[in-house]
Amino acid sequence: MFRNWSKAFRQGNAAYKLNMLANAVNETVQEHFLNVVGLDIRTIRVLRLIDDNPGITFAEIVDLGAMERSLVSRLIQVLVRGNHIERRNDERDARRFGLHSTPFGSAARRRADLLSETGLKLLFRHLEPSEVAAFIGTMEKLAQWVDSDQFEQEAGARFDEAAQQARTMRDR
């Protein structure tokens, strides 16, 4: 488990802090998921997408999971080899296949959900219910914004502008 990371946490910007917090929480619980479920957190994320969306395609997992194609491919292979999921031809188009949880995979997902609920209760233990609701609401609002066309357009323009300014700065 990471220790003393919160000292540097206070020095970062909001994006850095979110990343650091997520990494610390994931690192703390990862071993429990491996011991109880037999899968790491990223693989469970893919399993959940498949279990929640029977027939989901590889490309849909890449999009919905916000993960790299090569990573998703490797995680799907782990799940197929472990008998957590299976590929099935699409009933409407035999050239396509969808991914489906097996009973073994659905059971693993239920165990992971129990661990996740336990972790969330621990994580939010020192927050008031209104603080938890505000935090979750803020994350949802940010997710909507970051996933928008407008954010993508503005990010491109603003980072191009910042890059031009950065090029004119002298090394000191």
Residue at token pair 């917090």: 21
The pLDDT of residue 172 is 58
Cα separation values, 58 from 39, 63, 118, 136, Å = 19, 9, 30, 28
Q: Which domain holds residue 16?
A: 6-126
87-96, 115-124, 126-135: segment of lowest average pLDDT: 87-96
Say what the pTM is.
0.81
Q: What is the DSSP letter of 29?
A: H
Count of domains forming the chain: 2
Q: Indicate which CATH number applies to the domain containing 87.
A: 1.10.10.10
